[in-house]
Structure 1
């Protein structure tokens, strides 16, 4: 999407509304958003990618922040190229855009890209989701430096737990996900790419504060620090970031209810931190080997539904740790091999209380639940250009996921008990092949095929009636994927492309086995979902000042997993309980258009933005009134970047969205689909660069203090102000 201002004057560093291809100038399919904002709109100096086979894995940064970002007049953060995915198209959100627009969490940052929406899932989990052209977190894999972040039990990742200040860029694939990158890319993929030092010594420090809309209270503080060194033989770096939020404030237009009195949002406190350390060895100009350690930890509360019907949950622990090794080796003059191996740990603890005092756990709803997961695996990719007019690549991925859980039920009651540990284990193999045929100097044809193989080795669940651990049936599944793209470059700046991608997704353990507190039956025989994604796109630059791009997309979804009513019964209170089961009975379509424009009006003044139209239709034979929730039909972003002085940049922006469907759970509309969530948020950032080392910025979000919701019963923050300082050496 579009965004950015520059640290210099406009004609030297035009802002672009849509990200950039990162690590893939060697791959032919252009993204919707193309040009780095710190370069002229007509040209972009390509950073070579190790995925190309002939490019250097350790090529120095070109000095530009590729993606939605600002020009980095000091030492720009270099991308850890070994952690990049092989992208064919897509968008990239750069670190300078994240800084300028004060997007501290993943869900906020990626929502700046066209075709990407953030959503509040509501309920007692206090989770944020990301939708890429209408596909959610179950259908859009999340990776960190190319290593999959996956929760084996249910993969209900909270995108708000992933911090952004220490990232070099965020890669976003939309619709067409290269088969080389691994399984699960049914509707897209998101990759968090860390930084890598570029100088003999470099360091950066940031401190920021977020204030209430009336400036009478402090909402949150955040900080980031990095130190690194790079020599001819290698590099080393350590970084850390933390965000501590005491609360956030509601709009002054919010009407108090018995469950939320307005002002400071109750139970909105969170705390997250992440550290990353890496060391790399670069024996020559083409080979690179690195070890990276990442640990992030978080805790959060959960704001209540403003109309009642709540569960009282808190997460004291939400932690992820990863140790990974990466390599890239050039073979001869036209081939390469790259790989990674990793070990991940994922731990979280959920505490459920009796009431809103959050002090006792004596009732049936009171429990403590622990998840203890680990995963290990790796990938190897090989590529060659030995075949004339062809670039051939292949990859193999392996992963084993292990999930353990147990509950302490009613810990404050004499009948309370601790469950024995239950374990689930799953193994996945994945094989992929991709070829690019360079038909002419201006025409490329890409084709890819892959095979998924998933085997459930163990699945256990505690039977609370029998007080014993039972085993569910195990099994395995296979699925084929295929894709193709045609790219024509009709001029130095103009490209058109067409693509089709057929991808699958296996159901997770939650979808197959969860009983949802006695309201669902397991279905171990669930099949994979399938999506066919079509795209037609065009982009060009005119007069070195105007950049336009457009993409039309259409997705067909088959075997969609839907919840089907299978029986009902009377509980001990005489109430009717409906029991459902997940089945492959649904299908649907996603269709839309993405537009992006950037225009240099005059030196020092740029305007730009993007617009997304998305129509989602889902069909369920048993629920004819079913609606697709959480995404607006119309969404846009508009910005203006004005260099008021040589060291002062003013950037107002506007975030726009139409209504979205949400299933009401309380009040007069309970169990009905309602439309909510339209907004027009006015934002502002003012940055002053003291010198080449120090800079400071102040600004605000939702300056008109709009009262709105993204999901029924859970209002969003009102007006907020922020102040940040940064030092880079």
Structure 2
């Protein structure tokens, strides 16, 4: 039975889950016995073990290797099949120049002629300090500054058929995806244990921020032909890229044309394990690069009627889920992007872009909770618009100025219904929530070579966020249709009630300074600091008792700092170490949301803080194997958590700075070509998260202690490539509706991708996911898809 927005079928009522014992029993029945076996690999990784691992990394870095080290720009034929842990060298000011030490300053510098046409401006723009990658075909002005991190390429998302950001980013070591569960149906990402509040998301370096709560759904962001790469900063996020970045940053980078005419078209169709059609994805890109300008246009559409559960799934509440098609799992997303750029010479570039994406989604119901303990929600629209510009201008031979300006809007509607059929709104559980947000601002960053061995950069960021919201509420009353108070009870409203618009407005600023010192031709030291501050201009709410009112305003500020060292100790490998102290301002939701009357505000909520340490190595072993590894540790303070307090004669929740703790772990990746037609590889992440909490029994949810992916890539015939792969994860913490915590989600999923290039640039592909039809879940009551197949074709020209 498929309960979608168009078809709501009937079901039967089943029992509820109430105790920890029942939770474990439910987990075994619904998700398989393996998911309740404790798999606390991270708990077994002691501090002493991590210290020994770090020492091993440092010792390994001293060993010689035999080929050229992995640099910022990797040739297409050298790109690993899976994203590795990557070491990026700091950018110098002069485009296309190597890092310059005192002894090499006059011999290694290459400055393009001032009379150059500009056709190669962006390919070398990595030298301006704005981006982790300057590879051809990538809009490098839209990049972020990466020190250690990971880049997921367009080719990798195609090979493994990862059509959305949550799926694609999880290919990277140190990044895990999860299901937000509950009625929101949101796909989540964690970067070394840090969540969506603590890891900013940007598109071409422009922040995607929802000023009310910033509860981003990563499943709404498509990874089509127009996305060149996904840049992931982990732990260390450069102060030059603006505020936030407590645990890293994620950046979607679009394409930049390299030829007079180029394009790409992708078309895929998805089928359930029994062959039933479930949806399609279409993606296209076209671009032209002329002597003094370039133009691009692109778009993606994903339309899905939903997905099927594993055949091993055992229904426990047929009224909400009876197996087969996952009820209310349909989604629809589309995006367009156009870009125009001017390149008057070899160093300068001026571009403007427009991006629009729209989506709608259902919200699958909890598979266990009884009918009277469900929330029947729907998202009829989830839309984002953005207009932004980038410029880079050379000043003399050793200085540059970059600018960025943007205007973003975000609209979404959330509707709650009375029943699983989503067809009536008459009770106090029903509402329609409307959000309308806008943000605008910009940044300027500049750099100069103070000496031949010293580069100084500075940046200033400003953004204004405006949030407007109102609800239409439904209660059992026949005494009118306008908002107001009934009789002497201040909490009873006439029905239905449409609230007045509530408005919040806030300014955020950041000023940063960063210095790169080339100690020797092989050693770079990077230091930096920033000061962030935020001015809250207005914060409104509405209740039936008080009407429209303003909260007490309170501003915030924070200092950040960083330091990093990279040693290219030979021509074939690098070792690096970094430390950064970052802060994250709380959202309006955390400070002021009443949670539909169940919470009280905390205007003075302080920023979260984290000091992140990392030691890593990347290079080649035995002349061919690309290997990389990193050890990381984060000391987290003022962690924001929700606690229950007594207030006005009742018990309410409130966000408070009560958590201190630590996140630590290890990442490793390898890509090993065995023959010209056969290679193997994969990556592994181990992580442990410990946090203090005054509420006993509360656990940090959503992140497995261990995760990894392994693959074999084999080309048995010309044009044919087979890529079988296995994705693995240990258990993670979750909680049921009775606030009982238990472990869930251990899985091993077998997949395979088969590609046939029938002519240059034209490929047919067949992908099978979850071949064994494993039944598993990442959060209580919300199982993951069973076996599925994708058939597709890609044409490049």
TM-score when scaled to structure 1? 0.89
Question: Corresponding residue for 1:441?
Answer: 521
Label 1:446 to 1:318 Cα distance change in 2 as closer, same or farther (>3 A).
same
Label 1:300 to 1:77 Cα distance change in 2 as closer, same or farther (>3 A).
farther
Displacement of 1:664 after TM fit?
Answer: 1.3
Displacement of 1:77 after TM fit?
Answer: 7.6
SS at match of 1:439: strand
Task: Say whether 1:716 aligns with 2:784.
Answer: yes
Distance in 2 separating the partners of 1:313 and 1:322: 27
Task: Say whether 1:480 aligns with 2:559.
Answer: yes
- Partner residue of 1:356 out of 412, 420, 434: 420
Superposed structure 1 runs of 4+ greater than 6 Å apart: none
Distance in 2 separating the partners of 1:412 and 1:150: 36
Question: Corresponding residue for 2:397?
Answer: 333
- Partner residue of 1:606 out of 667, 679, 698: 679
Label 1:283 to 1:24 Cα distance change in 2 as closer, same or farther (>3 A).
farther
CA contact (8 A) 1:662 1:676 kept: yes
Displacement of 1:411 after TM fit?
Answer: 8.6
Q: Which runs of 5+ in 2 are unaligned?
A: 1-74, 94-109, 113-117, 479-494
Distance in 2 separating the partners of 1:55 and 1:441: 30
- Partner residue of 1:626 out of 698, 706, 709: 698
CA contact (8 A) 1:19 1:68 kept: no
Question: Corresponding residue for 1:688?
Answer: 756
Displacement of 1:568 after TM fit?
Answer: 7.0
Task: Say whether 1:279 aligns with 2:345.
Answer: no
Distance in 1 separating the partners of 2:791 and 2:612: 42
Task: Say whether 1:376 aligns with 2:440.
Answer: yes
SS at match of 1:124: helix
Displacement of 1:138 after TM fit?
Answer: 0.1
Task: Say whether 1:241 aligns with 2:300.
Answer: yes
SS at match of 2:329: coil
Rg larger in structure: 2
Question: Corresponding residue for 1:132?
Answer: 191
Q: Deviations over 1:398-419 (max 9, x none)?
A: 0000000011112997510211
Larger % of strand: which?
1
Distance in 2 separating the partners of 1:521 and 1:79: 46
Q: In the comparison of the two structures, how many residue pairs are matched? A: 674
Distance in 2 separating the partners of 1:27 and 1:592: 31
CA contact (8 A) 2:132 2:145 kept: no
Question: Corresponding residue for 2:181?
Answer: 122
- Partner residue of 2:453 out of 389, 404, 418: 389
Label 1:125 to 1:27 Cα distance change in 2 as closer, same or farther (>3 A).
farther
Displacement of 1:358 after TM fit?
Answer: 0.7
CA contact (8 A) 1:77 1:195 kept: no
Distance in 2 separating the partners of 1:490 and 1:451: 34
- Partner residue of 1:454 out of 534, 556, 559: 534
Task: Say whether 1:113 aligns with 2:113.
Answer: no
Question: Corresponding residue for 1:35?
Answer: none
Label 1:314 to 1:610 Cα distance change in 2 as closer, same or farther (>3 A).
same
Task: Say whether 1:542 aligns with 2:621.
Answer: yes
Distance in 2 separating the partners of 1:387 and 1:322: 39
Displacement of 1:624 after TM fit?
Answer: 3.0
CA contact (8 A) 1:436 1:444 kept: yes
Q: Which structure 2 residues correspond to residues 460-539 of structure 1 after superposition, within 5 A? A: 460-466=540-546, 468-539=547-618
- Partner residue of 1:297 out of 358, 363, 376: 358
Distance in 2 separating the partners of 1:15 and 1:585: 42
CA contact (8 A) 1:213 1:720 kept: yes
Question: Corresponding residue for 1:420?
Answer: 500
- Partner residue of 1:193 out of 230, 248, 253: 253
Question: Corresponding residue for 2:487?
Answer: none
CA contact (8 A) 1:360 1:412 kept: no
Displacement of 1:424 after TM fit?
Answer: 0.3
SS at match of 2:198: coil
Label 1:651 to 1:494 Cα distance change in 2 as closer, same or farther (>3 A).
same
SS at match of 1:99: helix
Q: Deviations over 1:503-546 (max 9, x none)?
A: 00111000000111222110000011100000111222123211
Displacement of 1:140 after TM fit?
Answer: 0.0
Question: Corresponding residue for 2:311?
Answer: 252
CA contact (8 A) 1:177 1:185 kept: yes
Q: Deviations over 1:643-675 (max 9, x none)?
A: 11120000001100000000111xxxx311100
Question: Corresponding residue for 1:574?
Answer: none
Label 1:14 to 1:195 Cα distance change in 2 as closer, same or farther (>3 A).
closer
SS at match of 2:716: strand
Q: Deviations over 1:167-205 (max 9, x none)?
A: 000000000001100100000100011112221112221
Task: Say whether 1:179 aligns with 2:239.
Answer: yes
Give the number of the structure with larger relative contact order, counting CA–CA contacts within 8 Å between residues 6 or more apart. Answer: 2
Distance in 2 separating the partners of 1:626 and 1:27: 47
CA contact (8 A) 2:81 2:156 kept: no
SS at match of 1:475: coil
Displacement of 1:389 after TM fit?
Answer: 1.4
Q: Which runs of 5+ in 1 are unaligned?
A: 1-9, 29-45, 49-53, 70-75, 571-576
Label 1:482 to 1:144 Cα distance change in 2 as closer, same or farther (>3 A).
same
Question: Corresponding residue for 2:207?
Answer: 148
SS at match of 1:59: helix
Q: Which structure 2 residues correspond to residues 560-599 of structure 1 after superposition, within 5 A? A: 560-567=639-646, 578-599=651-672
Q: Using the TM superposition, name which of 511-520 and 404-413 deviates more.
A: 404-413
CA contact (8 A) 2:427 2:475 kept: no
CA contact (8 A) 1:15 1:606 kept: no
Displacement of 1:89 after TM fit?
Answer: 2.0
CA contact (8 A) 1:79 1:195 kept: yes
Question: Corresponding residue for 1:642?
Answer: 714
Label 1:14 to 1:300 Cα distance change in 2 as closer, same or farther (>3 A).
closer
Distance in 1 separating the partners of 2:564 and 2:349: 30
CA contact (8 A) 1:562 1:582 kept: yes
Label 1:525 to 1:13 Cα distance change in 2 as closer, same or farther (>3 A).
closer
Question: Corresponding residue for 1:33?
Answer: none
Q: Using the TM superposition, name which of 409-418 and 600-609 deviates more.
A: 409-418
SS at match of 2:91: coil
Question: Corresponding residue for 1:38?
Answer: none
Larger % of helix: which?
2
Q: Deviations over 1:128-168 (max 9, x none)?
A: 11100000000000001000000000000101000001200
Displacement of 1:718 after TM fit?
Answer: 0.3
Distance in 1 separating the partners of 2:155 and 2:132: 7
SS at match of 1:244: strand
Displacement of 1:387 after TM fit?
Answer: 2.3
Question: Corresponding residue for 1:213?
Answer: 273
Displacement of 1:693 after TM fit?
Answer: 3.4
SS at match of 2:570: coil
Q: Which structure 2 residues correspond to residues 86-97 of structure 1 after superposition, within 5 A? A: 86-97=145-156
Q: Which structure 2 residues correspond to residues 28-177 of structure 1 after superposition, within 5 A? A: 57-59=121-123, 78-165=137-224, 166-177=226-237
Label 1:413 to 1:238 Cα distance change in 2 as closer, same or farther (>3 A).
farther
Question: Corresponding residue for 1:31?
Answer: none
Distance in 1 separating the partners of 2:337 and 2:740: 45
Label 1:27 to 1:715 Cα distance change in 2 as closer, same or farther (>3 A).
farther
CA contact (8 A) 1:367 1:411 kept: no
CA contact (8 A) 2:119 2:343 kept: no
Displacement of 1:477 after TM fit?
Answer: 1.1
SS at match of 2:301: strand
Question: Corresponding residue for 1:42?
Answer: none
Question: Corresponding residue for 1:26?
Answer: 91
Distance in 1 separating the partners of 2:477 and 2:526: 63
Label 1:470 to 1:485 Cα distance change in 2 as closer, same or farther (>3 A).
same
SS at match of 1:373: strand
Distance in 2 separating the partners of 1:321 and 1:411: 34
CA contact (8 A) 2:246 2:583 kept: yes
Distance in 2 separating the partners of 1:15 and 1:195: 20
Label 1:251 to 1:127 Cα distance change in 2 as closer, same or farther (>3 A).
same
